[in-house]
Amino acid sequence: MPQWVDRLERRLGFLSVPGLAAFLAGMNAAVGLMSQFRPEFPARLALDPFLLRQGELWRALTFVFVPPPMALLWLFFWLLLLYAYVLRLEAVWGDFKLTVYCLLGAGGTVAASLITRAPLSNVIFQAGLFLAFARLYPDFEILLFFVVPVRMKWLGRLAWLGLLVAFILGGATERIYYALGLANYFVFFASDLEAEARMLAHRLRNRGKRWG
């Protein structure tokens, strides 16, 4: 955890959003249910840089409450999963750090949308939450297709592989979107990632010496 987050919490901890896991899941549930009756409703909350510049500033926040389009049954299971892993992040980090993480993720996506002038979804925002959970709880298991137990470590690696392929094959808009949308992850886990990179480099050097 970056030290500046701890310092910020001592000064501005009162600005944290308590119960953020329940709030995120509840708002996504409300928007998902509303979209079943009024399919045009999510578009009023979506992140559109043109409308944002026209004064519809609420879109900088409300886009994170738009769930992926899916049938009600799958929406229910998706919301359960969302609530479960964000609740665990809340338990580890506390209200303030989770609030900062979400604000950085949402802010990065908004910045990417304004820079690229493209409407963007909250997929990367959701991915950032999932990847943080997978890092903090690598041995947590879920039942894939309600049958096959899979640890979060492997799902996290699979998600990173998909993001890397999309980043490489995508255009400038996608690359900016992924880079800024996941800035919260890289900020929060910078020290861990640096340590892992050094360890990997050390192993590769040792392996090179053995083969040399």
pLDDT of amino acid 172 = 93
pLDDT in tens, 89-145: 999 999 999 999 999 999 999 999 999 999 999 999 999 999 999 999 999 888 776
pLDDT of amino acid 209 = 60
Residue linked to tokens 């009600």: 72
Helix (H) or strand (E) holding 133: helix 123-136
Compute the average pLDDT of residues 63-88: 91
We find that the CATH architecture of domain 11-211 is: Up-down Bundle (1.20)
Residues 6+ apart with CB under 8 A from 34: 41, 42
User: How far from 107 is each of 30, 46, 60, 67, CA to CA, in Å?
Assistant: 23, 14, 8, 18
**Does 205 have pLDDT greater than 80?**
no
pLDDT in tens, 20-34: 999 999 999 999 999
Model-level pTM?
A: 0.88
What would the two tokens of residue 171 be? 């255009």
Domain spans of the chain?
A: 11-211
Q: 47 — phi, psi (to 5°)?
A: -85, 105
